[in-house]
Amino acid sequence: MRSIKTKLIVNFSIIILIGSFLLGFISVKRAKDAINIEGRKTLTSLAVDSAKLTASRMENLLTSLQAIALTDDIKSMKWKQQQPLLKRQLENTRFLDLAVVFPDGTAHYPDGTTSQLGDREYVIKAFNGQANYSDLILSRVTNSLVIMFAVPITNDGKVVGVLIGRSDSDTLSEVARDSGYGSNGYGFVINNEGIVVGHPDQEKVNSRFNPIEDSKTDDGLESMAKFFKTVLSEKQGFGKYKLEGTEYYASFAPIEGTN
């Protein structure tokens, strides 16, 4: 079996739904001033580094989940052995909860509750042998926005189940808070629909802020929507947009991974 690194799709359903981009944004007080070449290089480098940081953090979460999936108790697919192990391991991970999904699609949680997740794309991928994680989705268990991680449980070379971990919607926002240029710059992550899935202002994530869609009813977002479309089309580069009378310069880069 290939390693998680080579199997990992650093995505939210194919690179955060085919293209998630960490944007290094800088607020420019002097609207007429141009960003010089060195400044542009710095911003571009920052965006690329931030994208790599995001990929690394997500891969680390998958790796920790894979380590649990390799234990004999989990591989046994005997719930009486798995349940106490999950309870112990949960305290040592960054996940909000863990569960084992059996071949019938039923997810069993350490507290004894169950949920039917067999139709979830991240579960289907894991049953097909692919370690992956979801887009920002509404949890059927908590009814809140979460990111779900999933890895196959294998025994004698066969996938016998799936181990999943639930992470809250703040996961990508943590990276965004660690990104930015100067005192006014900040980073955020969007998916290929233009939905913000990571932002220093968590309300932007919780409200599913999408300038491309929102600009249809709010003319003030037209410039930002146009820029987002450029990001999704070009995947890496540098640009600018206006919002509420202020001009913002931004560099952007994809969160890359391999299947």
Q: What domains lie within the chain, and their CATH numbers? A: 4-60+171-254 (no CATH), 79-168 (3.30.450.20)
Cβ atoms of 4 and 202 closer than 8 Å: no
Task: Supply the pLDDT for residue 183.
Answer: 64
Q: Which residues contact 145 (CB under 8 A, 6 or more apart)?
A: 136, 137, 138, 139, 168, 169, 205, 206
Q: Rounded to whole angstroms, how far apart are CA atoms 101 and 108? A: 6
Residues 6+ apart with CB under 8 A from 150: 65, 101, 122, 123, 125, 126, 131, 132, 133, 134, 162, 163, 164, 165
Backbone angles phi, psi at 188, to 5 degrees: -155, 165
Ranges of beta strands (E only) in the chain are: 21-27, 97-101, 106-108, 114-116, 132-133, 137-138, 145-155, 158-168, 186-190, 196-198, 237-243, 246-254
| pTM attached to this predicted model | 0.80
Helix/strand/coil (H, E, C) string of 41-56?
HHHHHHHHHHHHHHHH
Angle value at C-alpha 119, between 123 and 77, nearest 5 degrees = 50
How many Å apart are CA 212 and CA 161, to the nearest integer?
Answer: 39
**Inter-residue contact 240 to 248 (CB < 8 Å):** yes
Amino acid identity of 149? F
Q: What is the pLDDT of residue 184?
A: 72
The residues that bridge with 152 in the sheet, in sequence order, are 162
DSSP H or E run through 203 = helix 202-206
CB atoms within 10 A of CB 108: 19
- One pLDDT digit (tens) per residue for the chain, 259 residues: 444 444 443 333 333 333 334 444 444 444 345 445 666 777 778 888 888 888 888 999 999 999 999 999 999 999 999 999 999 999 999 999 999 999 999 999 999 999 999 999 999 999 999 999 999 999 999 989 999 999 999 999 999 999 999 999 888 888 777 776 666 778 888 998 999 999 889 999 999 999 999 999 999 999 999 999 999 999 888 888 998 888 888 888 888 753 3
Predicted local distance difference test score (pLDDT) of residue 122: 97
Are the beta carbons of 121 and 13 closer than 8 angstroms?
yes
Backbone torsions φ then ψ of 177, nearest 5 degrees: -70, -25
Dihedrals φ, ψ of 254, to 5°?
A: -80, 150
